[in-house]
Amino acid sequence: MEQTLTNIVDDSGTPVQTRRALTSNSVIYEPDDVSTTGTYGWYIDLDMPRATQTTSGAANPDSSGRNPPDAQFPGEKAIRRLVLRNGAIVTTTVLPSLDEFSCYGTRPGAILVLDAVTGGDIGRPVIDFNTDGVIDENDLLEDGGDTYSAGLLFNQGDLDGALVDLSTLGGEGDADWLFACGGNDCLPFRIEPPDESRTGRLSWRELSED
């Protein structure tokens, strides 16, 4: 089952953010008839067109990439390592270069947040995207009456290079730190901690204990 990713430009704050919202389609992992063969599970195509409007209905100020209805960044790939948080997958994408003479993408890339089981919207805030120090409903995206735990497409000036693997650091209180880095720049975000006491370097005996 395909989960569809959509670019939504949120102009409710400053700066304007392009968020990445996922559908929540049901996923089939096995056929009703065990004798039936097929392909099951979920997938996501990174072929989203650029949004034409913002959440307020204004014209989208972003002109990067290709024009709709073409994919905004054809060739975008999710090839970085995954960060798991309580059933949520957090990862980054890499955008194609500006032209044949450049190794830098039109934008640094994007953070995706998805349900590890369905590949769709996780349905809760996972990252402090509005950077107010709290992971709560204010980090969700509302659009057209729907609420999403949407990812984030970075603006050109956010980082001075393409996104690399995400890194995390255990924090104090009820959240850890997530670092999104590219070039010589890093942006810190709060991220929910693992809901699991057995973390860090573990033996196979610890992992096998109930």
Tell me: the pLDDT tens digits for 75-112? 899 888 899 999 999 999 988 875 655 555 678 899 99
Does residue 168 lie within any of the structural domains? no
The answer to whether residue 170 sits within a structural domain is no
Per DSSP, the residues of 15-60 read S-EEEEEE-------S-SSTT-----S-B----PBPPSBBTTSPBP
Question: Measured between alpha carbons, how far is 160 from 41 in angstroms, rounded to an integer?
Answer: 36
Confidence of residue 55 (pLDDT cuts 50, 70, 90): very high
Q: Is residue 164 part of a domain?
A: no
| 158, amino acid identity | D
Among 44, 4, 59, 17, CA closest to 154? 17
Residue 12 domain flag: yes
Number of domains forming the structure of the chain: 1
Asked if residue 204 is part of any domain, the answer here is no
DSSP element (H, E) containing 191 = strand 185-191
Mean pLDDT check: name the lowest of 30-34, 64-68, 178-182: 30-34
The mean per-residue pLDDT over the stretch 65-69 comes to 92
Q: Taking Cα atoms as reference points, which of 102, 106, 103, 77 lies closest to residue 92?
A: 77
Asked whether the predicted pLDDT for residue 172 surpasses 80, the reply is no
Query: CA–CA separation, 205 vs 82, rounded Å?
Result: 24
Q: Is residue 135 part of a domain?
A: yes
Q: What are phi and psi of 204, to 5 degrees?
A: -65, -25
pLDDT of residue 70: 94
- Its pTM stands at 0.84
For residue 170, what are its two tokens? 């255990």
Q: Which residue segment(s) compose the domain that 45 sits in?
A: 1-159
- Asked if residue 205 belongs to a domain, the reply is no
5 inside domain: yes
